């Protein structure tokens, strides 16, 4: 069990080893379980897409839909990395090309149409989607074309075992880790009775399952769980079921529809000053709740994968998008772009299959480096590299998941936003 120390109005970052990423709580404690490798089929089993000498990246990120708030920081992370890569001479001696598209959400066919465009533009790797369900809907089309599918934000456990032909990778850890951290946090805050409101899709139900198991393992009880339709016009009946059980803690797992759920919680008297609310990466936002009365979210805690983006990195992001207010998954997007570029350099090829074959290698085991320029210089000198990302160590396991990861825990203030500055909780010690 991962223990969370009380940190007040701050961020805790919980480090997890590869064991934490492949374990799930059992009735008597944590037991390691083997998962079927998503990369069980070697990269060579994918179509042998041939490179043309120019690394071409496509982005499949949310410009519209229920995760649109994640689009700006993700695009900014990609754009910052690409700027630095091309300033350093590009990949294979040429500037990297990029095409941006919208991933939309699962209520539309936008993602499939966008993938068609990106494949027609001869993308070697596609960065996205933000939504796990969206990625699952297009992964066959992308990997079937021999193209790397690399998400900076997917967290569904289902993507660890999907047949991806060895071409799917992500810089965000699976929900089995976030769920354990969130469940531990809920219990450590003294909530022995818990209600869960979760959107009904692979992300929401998977994360809710892990939170529910962890709460039970910690001695708490989920007295009511409601898996709701995120497209519903009204959530009054869903919230009423939670109200009937009067839990001490309420976990909200969803996307932008959470604003409607929050309004209904307030309307029915389940306010954050009477019950402890908890959110997740899908609904943490510094913009979505600004229209609520001041203090409505005061004290509400939330988790999302990844360490807090350093100040210097945020300044660089503002250089490519001065209007940024949220930085969620910006570091993961930046790292994804750098890793793809470094893998192409290592493979001496821009073909998707060749890039995939080198991604694990450049993520661990060699000489540590922290940016494209320093890493590519080492590669050109004939050395093995270990890219250390802004989002964390980024060491891939054999299914393309991060083997080492961090989960941030943030707390909202009276202005209904959460802070950028934070403490770090790692291996039992708090620093900041």
For residue 172 the two structure tokens come to 């965000």
- The helix/strand/coil state of 192 is coil
Tell me, what's the pLDDT at 403? 87
Provide φ and ψ at 256, rounded to 5°: -70, -20
Q: What gap in Å lies between CA 54 and CA 65, rounded to an integer?
A: 32
Q: Which residue has the tokens 């050395």?
A: 383
Query: Angle, to 10 degrees, between the axis of helix 372-380 and the axis of helix 330-347?
Result: 10
- The helix/strand/coil state of 346 is helix
Q: What gap in Å lies between CA 225 and CA 51, rounded to an integer?
A: 49
**pLDDT tens, 129-169?**
999 999 999 999 999 999 999 999 998 889 999 999 999 99
Tell me, what's the pLDDT at 2? 37
Tell me, what's the pLDDT at 432? 41
Tell me, what's the pLDDT at 13? 41
Q: What gap in Å lies between CA 274 and CA 264, rounded to an integer?
A: 15
Strand order of the sheet with strand 405-411?
Answer: 12-16, 405-411, 301-305, 276-279, 249-253, 193-199, 221-228
Tell me, what's the pLDDT at 17? 32
Say if residue 375 is preceded by a cis peptide, omega within 30 of 0: no
Tell me, what's the pLDDT at 11? 41
**pLDDT tens, 364-402?**
999 999 999 999 999 999 999 999 999 988 999 999 999
Tell me, what's the pLDDT at 306? 77
Q: What gap in Å lies between CA 280 and CA 294, rounded to an integer?
A: 21
Q: Exposed/middle/buried for 82, CB within 10 Å: 0-12, 13-18, 19+?
A: buried
Low-confidence ranges of the chain (pLDDT < 70): 1-50, 420-432
**pLDDT tens, 192-208?**
999 999 999 988 999 99
């Amino acid at each position: 069990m991962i223990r969370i120390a009380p940190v007040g109005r701050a961020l805790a970052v919980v480090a997890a080893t590869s064991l934490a990423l492949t374990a799930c709580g059992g009735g008597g404690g944590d037991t390691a379980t083997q998962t079927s490798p998503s990369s069980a089929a070697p990269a060579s089993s994918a179509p042998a897409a041939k490179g043309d000498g120019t690394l071409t990246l496509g982005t499949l990120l949310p410009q519209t839909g229920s995760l649109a708030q994640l689009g700006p920081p993700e695009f900014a992370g990609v754009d910052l990395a690409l700027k630095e890569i091309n300033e350093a001479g590009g990949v294979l001696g040429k500037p990297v090309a990029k095409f941006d598209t919208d991933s939309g959400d699962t209520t539309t066919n936008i993602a499939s149409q966008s993938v068609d465009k990106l494949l027609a533009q001869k993308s070697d790797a596609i960065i996205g989607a933000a939504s796990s369900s969206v990625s699952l809907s297009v992964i066959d089309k992308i990997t079937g074309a021999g193209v790397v599918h690399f998400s900076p934000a997917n967290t569904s456990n289902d993507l660890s075992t999907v047949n991806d032909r060895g071409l799917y990778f992500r810089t965000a850890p699976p929900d089995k880790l976030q769920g354990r951290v969130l469940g531990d946090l809920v219990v450590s805050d003294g909530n022995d009775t818990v209600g869960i409101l979760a959107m009904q899709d692979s992300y929401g139900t998977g994360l809710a399952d892990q939170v529910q198991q962890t709460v039970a393992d910690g001695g708490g009880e989920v007295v009511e769980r409601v898996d709701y339709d995120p497209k519903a016009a009204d959530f009054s009946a869903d919230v009423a079921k939670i109200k009937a059980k009067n839990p001490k803690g309420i976990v909200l797992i969803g996307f932008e529809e959470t604003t409607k759920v929050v309004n209904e919680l307030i309307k029915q008297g389940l306010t954050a000053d009477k019950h402890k609310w908890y959110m997740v990466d899908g609904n943490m936002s510094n913009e979505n709740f600004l229209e609520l009365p001041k203090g409505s979210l005061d004290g509400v805690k939330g988790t999302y994968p990844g360490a807090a983006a350093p100040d210097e990195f945020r300044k660089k992001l503002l250089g490519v998008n001065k209007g940024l207010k949220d930085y969620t998954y910006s570091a993961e997007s930046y790292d994804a772009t750098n890793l793809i570029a470094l893998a192409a350099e290592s493979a001496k090829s821009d073909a998707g299959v060749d890039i995939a074959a080198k991604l694990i290698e450049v993520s661990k085991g060699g000489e540590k480096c922290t940016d494209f320029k320093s890493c590519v210089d080492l590669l050109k000198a004939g050395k093995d590299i270990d890219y250390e990302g802004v989002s964390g160590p980024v060491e891939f396991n054999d299914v393309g998941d991060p083997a080492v990861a961090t989960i941030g825990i943030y707390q909202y203030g009276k202005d209904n936003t959460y802070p950028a500055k934070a403490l770090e909780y790692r291996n039992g010690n708090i620093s900041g």
